[in-house]
């Protein structure tokens, strides 16, 4: 490469660097003036850098006056027109930025924001992130509303269901204190029953608090579910006999799952008591178990008459009580048993569901199966 060519390259590089330094200051001052003007200024800096390099090189290389005039006229026309062209082409970017601003302002509004066309993949990515943030915000608000509703229902449950046994205990204590009873032993027995009932409620509330906090510690080990189901059925059989309900259990030998025996027994016992509570005399509550699609399935079928379709989704809600065929009577549950079942099964990494299955409904517990 000749000396003249090297000189041309050095002059061009120097002009570009000098223009770039000045242009950087200009661009910084225009950052708050909008994207179209900013992009136009950037393109203008590039054009000025090229123009200055051409002009200086033309003078240095001693081009004819006519050639210099041609270069300068060309630059004088091309520079402003190129800047206007750059601003015009950047309008789509500006519109995309305005769309992103509208999307950001509408986060959390009553109506979800709609995706708007934007000019580049980067702006589209930002818009997708904003829409995802809106969905997450709405889900969090919905979860918060559901939790608040559950808290209100729990307070209502506590105020209602605890008031009744406490009032009964107070009345019986006053009667014993006044000495107006013919059979004090019966009142002592009823006091024990009511106090046990209150203690069970408190224990259930404490268990629920640990389940919701994720603090329930499980001691799991491989267990034959046939033995667990047999023990659960034997525990509630006196209740079934007193109500005139037939209680059966059918579990194959060798059905093993890794479970906490005490907690899973409590969950199964709650399902059985729930079925007995809502099955009339002469009905049947049946427990079956087996393998299904890689899981261990334990099902409890009752004869309650079914659950209203609108209520199926709320069966496991905290302190929820059924209506119609499953409305509680004087001995109804407090609405916590099924919530406890859901929490215990979830702690085992399983799921619990309910569906209408004549003559009643069917609760299904699915647990991870051990490799065979």
pLDDT at 327 (0 to 100): 39
Mind listing the pLDDT tens digit for each residue in 3-42?
Answer: 766 776 787 787 778 877 887 777 677 666 666 666 667 7
In DSSP terms, 300 is beta-bridged to 287, 363
- Rounded (10°) angle between helices 35-60 and 91-105: 150
Q: CA 27, 31, 37, 38 torsion: positive or negative?
A: positive
| φ, ψ (nearest 5 deg) of residue 222 | -60, 130
Rounded CA-CA distance 360/340 in Å is: 21
DSSP designation for 350:
-
Are residues 366 and 350 in contact, defined by beta-carbon separation less than 8 angstroms?
yes
Rounded CA-CA distance 72/67 in Å is: 9
Rounded CA-CA distance 349/366 in Å is: 9
- Alpha carbons within 13 angstroms on the beta-carbon side of residue 285 total 28
pLDDT at 76 (0 to 100): 72
Buried b (16+ CB within 10 A) or exposed e, 8-45: beebbeebbeebeeebeeebeeeeeebbbbbbbbbbbb
pTM strictly above 0.85: no
pLDDT at 325 (0 to 100): 38
Rounded CA-CA distance 326/315 in Å is: 11
pLDDT at 209 (0 to 100): 78
Best CA proximity match to 348, nearest among 283, 281, 264, 270: 264
Distance in Å from the first CA to the final CA of the chain: 78
pLDDT at 34 (0 to 100): 64
Rounded CA-CA distance 44/329 in Å is: 82
- The number of helices, as runs of H, and strands, as runs of E, in the chain is 10, 7
Name the stretches of the chain with pLDDT < 50: 323-333
**For residue 210, cis peptide bond before it (omega within 30 degrees of 0):** no
Here the tokens at position 207 are: 């268990």
Domain residues of the chain, as ranges? 3-89, 96-151, 162-212, 221-368
pLDDT at 246 (0 to 100): 94
Best CA proximity match to 283, nearest among 303, 307, 306: 303
Q: Is 245 helix (H, G, I), strand (E, B) or coil?
A: coil
pLDDT at 275 (0 to 100): 92
Are residues 226 and 257 in contact, defined by beta-carbon separation less than 8 angstroms?
no
- Is residue 39 within a helix (H) or strand (E), and if so which, with residue range? helix 35-60
Domain 221-368 indexed as CATH 3.30.565.10: yes
pLDDT at 350 (0 to 100): 92
pLDDT at 85 (0 to 100): 66
Rounded CA-CA distance 240/249 in Å is: 13
Best CA proximity match to 107, nearest among 82, 145, 136: 136
Question: Alpha helix locations (H) across the chain?
Answer: 3-29, 35-60, 65-89, 91-105, 121-161, 163-178, 184-212, 225-243, 261-278, 337-347
Q: Which residue matches tokens 């209150």? A: 198
pLDDT at 324 (0 to 100): 41
Best CA proximity match to 131, nearest among 118, 105, 111, 113: 113
């Amino acid at each position: 490469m000749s000396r003249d060519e090297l000189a041309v390259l050095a002059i061009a590089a120097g002009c570009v660097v000098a223009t770039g330094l000045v242009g950087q200051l200009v661009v910084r001052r225009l950052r708050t003036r909008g994207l179209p003007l900013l992009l136009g200024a950037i393109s203008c800096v590039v054009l000025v850098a090229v123009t200055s390099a051409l002009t200086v090189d033309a003078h240095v290389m001693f081009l004819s006056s006519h050639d210099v005039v041609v270069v300068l006229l060309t630059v004088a026309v091309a520079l402003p027109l190129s800047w206007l062209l750059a601003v015009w082409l950047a309008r789509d970017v500006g519109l995309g930025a305005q769309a992103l601003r509208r999307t950001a302002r509408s986060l959390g509004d009553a109506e979800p924001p709609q995706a708007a066309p934007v000019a580049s993949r980067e702006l589209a990515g930002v818009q997708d992130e904003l829409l995802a943030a809106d969905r997450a915000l709405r889900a969090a608000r919905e979860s918060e509303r559901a939790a608040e509703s559950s808290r209100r229902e729990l307070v209502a449950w506590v105020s209602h269901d605890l008031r009744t046994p406490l009032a009964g205990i107070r009345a019986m204590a006053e009667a014993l204190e006044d000495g107006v009873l013919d059979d004090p032993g019966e009142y002592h027995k009823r006091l024990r029953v009511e106090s046990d009932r209150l203690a069970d409620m408190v224990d259930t509330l404490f268990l629920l608090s640990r389940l919701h906090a994720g603090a329930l510690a499980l001691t799991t080990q491989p267990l034959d579910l046939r033995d667990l189901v047999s023990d659960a059925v034997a525990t509630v059989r006196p209740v079934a006999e007193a109500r005139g309900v037939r209680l059966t259990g059918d579990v194959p030998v060798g059905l093993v799952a890794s479970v906490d025996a005490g907690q899973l027994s409590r969950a199964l016992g709650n399902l059985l008591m729930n079925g007995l509570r809502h099955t009339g005399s002469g009905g049947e509550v049946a427990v079956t178990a087996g393998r299904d699609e890689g899981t261990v399935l334990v099902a409890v079928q009752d004869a309650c008459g079914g659950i209203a379709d609108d209520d199926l989704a709320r069966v496991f809600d905290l302190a929820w009580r059924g209506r119609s065929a499953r409305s509680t009577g004087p001995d109804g549950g407090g609405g916590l048993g099924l919530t406890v079942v859901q929490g215990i099964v979830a702690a085992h990494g399983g799921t619990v569901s309910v569906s209408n299955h004549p003559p009643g409904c069917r609760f299904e517990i699915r647990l991870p199966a051990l490799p065979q």
